[in-house]
Amino acid sequence: MINMRLDLICKHEFPDGFAIDVDLSCEVRAMALFGPSGSGKTTILSTIAGIFIPNLARIAIDQQIISDTNKNIWTPIEKRSIGVTSQHSMLFEHKTVRQNLEFGMPKNRKWKRKASFVTKKKIEFDEVIDVLELGTLLERYPNTLSGGEQRRVAIGRAIISQPRLLILDEPLSALDHILRQRILNYLKNVIDAWDIPTIIITHSKLVVHELADSVIILDKGRVISIGSPSSVLPGPIQSRISMALA
C-alpha cells in the first residue's frame, strides 16, 4: 500500500471577504476532502493541481516542493503529474474514446517525458481498459455515451497519464443512483488496482465512508477535523450504494 506525503499551506482572501487559511501535513492513500459547498474544497483542489495561485501557497509532495509563492516557485500544471477528473467529463467531442484515452499517454506528450515526478507503478493501457470495462466503447464518440460511460472514460484518461496523484472532484455528481453505484465500484477497483494516492473532493458522507481511509473536513475555509471516516464522521452510514447520497 503506497502512501504519499502531502504538505500544504494555502492562504487566500477573495474580494467578497471569503478567506482560505489551511496549513496541514498528512499521508495520502485514499483521502477525502469533505465539506459543504463554499467551504473551500475547489480552491484547495485548484491550488494543488496548479490551476489557481493563491496569495500564499507552499506545497510539497513527498518532500519535493512544487509550489512556494514566497520563493517564486510554481511548477506548471502539466509538470505536476497530477490527474484530475472534474465534475464534468471534459472529453474531446471530436475524438473517439480510444483517442481521448491516448491523448494523455506519456509517449504522446513530450512534456510528460520530462515531468518532475515518476510514478511508482507503470500503468498499462490495456489494463485500464479492462478495469474500467471500456473495450466496447473505444471506437465511439463522447456524444454517444451515457453519463456513467463518459465518467469512466474521463477516469481512464486521467489514470493513463501515469499520475503521481489522482484528484477526483465530486466523482458521483449528476449521476442517477444506479450509475452512482457502478462508478463507485469502478473507483474502488481503480484505487485497489494501481494504489495511486487519491484525493476525493466530496460533500457526501457516503462517498467518504465507501472510498476513503482518511478525511479532512473543511468549513468556511478552515480545516476543522482530520482523521478516519468513522472517527470524524460518525453515525450510521448505510452501505447500500443505491440509497440517496447524503
* Better-scored residue on pLDDT, 185 or 69: 69
* Domain ranges (residues) in the chain: 4-232
- The Cα 74–Cα 86 span in angstroms is 22
What pLDDT sits at residue 204?
87
Supply the pTM of this predicted model: 0.87
- Closest by CA to 100, choosing from 111, 110, 91, 90, is 91
Mean pLDDT of the chain: 87
Give me the half-sphere count of Cα atoms (radius 13 Å) on the Cβ side of residue 78. 9
pLDDT tens for each residue of 175-215: 878 888 888 889 998 888 888 999 999 998 889 999 999 99
Residues 6+ apart with CB under 8 A from 93: 141, 142, 143
- Is residue 57 predicted with pLDDT exceeding 90? yes
Ranges of H-type helices in 5-106 = 41-49, 97-103
Work out the pLDDT band at 114, boundaries 50, 70, 90: very low
CATH superfamily of the 4-232 domain:
P-loop containing nucleotide triphosphate hydrolases (3.40.50.300)
What pLDDT sits at residue 2?
65
